[in-house]
Homo-oligomer: A and B are copies of this chain.
Amino acid sequence: MGRERLYLYDTTLRDGQQTQGVQFSTAEKLKIAAALDALGVDYIEGGWPGANPTDSAFFAEVGRTRAAMTAFGMTKRAGYSAENDDVLAAVMNAGTPAVCVVGKSHDFHVTTALGIGLEENVANIGASVAHLVASRREALFDAEHFFDGYKANPDYALTCLRAALEAGARWVVLCDTNGGTLPHEIGRIVSEVIASGVPGGKVGIHTHNDTEMAVAGSLAAVDAGARQVQGTLNGLGERCGNANLTALIPTLLLKEPYASRFVTGVDMEALEGLTRVSRMLDDVLNRVPLKQVAYVGASAFAHKAGLHASAILKDPTTYEHIDPALVGNRRVIPMSNQAGQSNLRRRLAEAGLEVAPGDPALARILERVKTREAEGYSYDTAQASFELLAREELGLLPEFFEVKRYRVTVERRKNKYDRMVSLSEAVVVVKVDGEKKLSVSESMDEEGNDRGPVNALSKALAKDLGSYQYLIEDMRLVDFKVRITQGGTEAVTRVIIDSEDSSGRRWATVGVSANIVDASFEALLDAVRWKLVRAGARA
């Protein structure tokens, strides 16, 4: 028997932007849309054109996509015809193949929030959808507060859906706007809606995570017959977020009964890119990816318990519900336990360091990683610093140069035009090739802007390293992350620096100190040392 089509509708760029603290630029929206399109979702809701300049610019620039690009707006307002409502006109002007309009389906909201009659609201829904259809757009109707509305007045809620369908809507989307409806209720109500004559093939589901059950609620709706699921990457969205597509998609593709019953636009190959897509979004948001999230989190296949870790080495199915490679993730056996040594050897081999099993250096490296992590270091991300630490224990790290001292000065004062300006200056003193070298740099960039003390320090350190200088000329600092963390009993600063060279290679190093400048300097120093190691430099 053929599998049924299930449609995925992504609203990361619209409802996802309702997340507190999230504001995408147009360039970021374009980047996320490209990733969603490659993943294979069926609809990309790009924003509300007219309501937000960034959204209008996005639709103007996005170009053709495999997914149906969708503009979001609201049903026409009372007192305007659909043709003359300028809010709706701005939505239409984005020129997208699909348009989703949100409207009320809860009688209480119609009278309280809109302050219009119940029949007038139904007429507005019908006229708005008819206008979209007449303009040859695929029309979607988001029924706001549908579940609360249905519980209060099922007939009215259904009348709103019918008005949209009779006007030609391709989908009516049942929205649990406040996020308070539990999965069993969602399942029951969707069943009743379909039993009342609304075809399941035209029903979408839009849930929120206010009870931590948005994913379960979406699946309950699918079980009851809905065939479109709305959600966001990484579960972004208003309040507690929307249904998390990053968790939903693997369940739909890998778990029964869904895997045998449905086909989606996302195939098994695209699924292998899911972890990367999730991390890309965190990168755009400059967020530290959450480790414990389902399927794509860095801890999702981390086996800390000693019993689990040793069983996993015998047979991965003992403690893994799926193969992590299916979603582009990987197994982690933290170094802090027995199973750690074989894992450590694997990680060293990745850095080109072959160490025999049982070599006493392995235990020393593990011990040092443990001590340093207790101080606030993090070697999960800073692979280059980890490699330097291991090389030191293995006696494979030459001392290319020695830093004797440094000094950074940050000054802020009025310039001759009476404006406050800042400038930093750094002096670094190193001993290299048997010679003492003093280098000084300031924090001004080519445009005359102050880039701060770490920038000055980075330039001074890389200014004159004698015979090594030519090896580091093509290095540049591409990212700088700062976190306040706990080192023993005191708060300390952890700095992670990403560097890049002309070959496009990137590496991450870490520094920790109560002093943020010191922590940065430590990470900068590791970045230079790693580059010299990889360039094959000798002391």
Give A contacts to B, CB under 8 Å: 18-21, 23, 25, 52, 109, 112-113, 177-180, 182-184, 209-213, 215-216, 219, 223, 235, 238-241, 244, 247, 250-251, 255, 286, 290-295, 297-305, 308, 311, 314-315, 318-322, 332, 334, 336-338, 373, 378, 380-381, 404-414, 422, 424, 443, 449-455, 479-486, 490-491, 493, 513-518, 521
- By beta carbon, the residue of chain B nearest A180 is B321
Report whether A113 and B300 are in contact in the complex, using a CB–CB cutoff of 8 Å: no
Q: Which 4 A-B pairs have the closest CB atoms?
A: A180-B321, A216-B216, A452-B515, A405-B413
Instruction: Give the chain B neighbours of A18 by CB distance below 8 A.
Output: 304-305, 338
Report whether A112 and B318 are in contact in the complex, using a CB–CB cutoff of 8 Å: yes
Instruction: Give the chain B neighbours of A334 by CB distance below 8 A.
Output: 20
A385 to chain B, nearest CB (A): 15
- By beta carbon, the residue of chain B nearest A296 is B240
| Contact status of A452 and B178, CB under 8 A, knowing A286-B485, A292-B235, A485-B286 | no
| Contact status of A404 and B410, CB under 8 A, knowing A292-B240, A319-B177 | no
A245 to chain B, nearest CB (A): 11
Instruction: Give the chain B neighbours of A424 by CB distance below 8 A.
Output: 515, 517
Instruction: Give the chain B neighbours of A295 by CB distance below 8 A.
Output: 210-211
Report whether B20 and A318 are in contact in the complex, using a CB–CB cutoff of 8 Å: no
Instruction: Give the chain B neighbours of A321 by CB distance below 8 A.
Output: 178-180, 210-211
A509 to chain B, nearest CB (A): 16
Report whether A322 and B180 are in contact in the complex, using a CB–CB cutoff of 8 Å: yes
> What is the bound-complex CA distance between A19 and B332, given in angstroms?
12
> What is the bound-complex CA distance between A297 and B210, given in angstroms?
10
A42 to chain B, nearest CB (A): 21
- By beta carbon, the residue of chain B nearest A411 is B407
A289 to chain B, nearest CB (A): 13
Report whether A238 and B308 are in contact in the complex, using a CB–CB cutoff of 8 Å: yes
Report whether A247 and B212 are in contact in the complex, using a CB–CB cutoff of 8 Å: yes
Instruction: Give the chain B neighbours of A247 by CB distance below 8 A.
Output: 211-212
Report whether A452 and B517 are in contact in the complex, using a CB–CB cutoff of 8 Å: yes
- By beta carbon, the residue of chain B nearest A321 is B180
A144 to chain B, nearest CB (A): 9
Greatest chain B CB density within 10 A among A211, A413, A486, A493 is at: A211
Report whether B223 and A300 are in contact in the complex, using a CB–CB cutoff of 8 Å: no
Instruction: Give the chain B neighbours of A303 by CB distance below 8 A.
Output: 238-239
**Of B235, B322, B380, B408, which one neighbours A21 at CB under 8 angstroms?**
B380
> What is the bound-complex CA distance between A322 and B212, given in angstroms?
14
8 CB-based A-B contacts, threshold 8 Å: A25-B486, A182-B255, A212-B294, A238-B304, A410-B515, A451-B515, A452-B493, A452-B513
Instruction: Give the chain B neighbours of A211 by CB distance below 8 A.
Output: 215, 247, 250-251, 255, 294-295, 321
A64 to chain B, nearest CB (A): 27
Since A23-B336, A286-B484, A405-B413 are in contact, a sample of 13 more A-B pairs with Cβ atoms closer than 8 Å, ordered by chain A residue number, is A18-B305, A19-B299, A112-B318, A210-B321, A240-B299, A286-B483, A404-B414, A409-B409, A412-B521, A422-B515, A449-B490, A449-B514, A452-B493
Report whether B240 and A183 are in contact in the complex, using a CB–CB cutoff of 8 Å: no
Instruction: Give the chain B neighbours of A184 by CB distance below 8 A.
Output: 223
Report whether B518 and A422 are in contact in the complex, using a CB–CB cutoff of 8 Å: yes
**Of B319, B332, B408, which one neighbours A409 at CB under 8 angstroms?**
B408
Report whether A286 and B414 are in contact in the complex, using a CB–CB cutoff of 8 Å: no
Report whether A302 and B482 are in contact in the complex, using a CB–CB cutoff of 8 Å: no
**Of B291, B314, B378, B521, which one neighbours A113 at CB under 8 angstroms?**
B314
Report whether A292 and B19 are in contact in the complex, using a CB–CB cutoff of 8 Å: yes
> What is the bound-complex CA distance between A308 and B175, given in angstroms?
14
| Contact status of A294 and B412, CB under 8 A, knowing A223-B184, A373-B23 | no
Report whether B292 and A209 are in contact in the complex, using a CB–CB cutoff of 8 Å: yes
Report whether B514 and A451 are in contact in the complex, using a CB–CB cutoff of 8 Å: yes
**Of B320, B338, B373, B514, which one neighbours A452 at CB under 8 angstroms?**
B514
> What is the bound-complex CA distance between A380 and B513, given in angstroms?
29
> What is the bound-complex CA distance between A481 and B25, given in angstroms?
23
Report whether A219 and B479 are in contact in the complex, using a CB–CB cutoff of 8 Å: no
Instruction: Give the chain B neighbours of A490 by CB distance below 8 A.
Output: 449
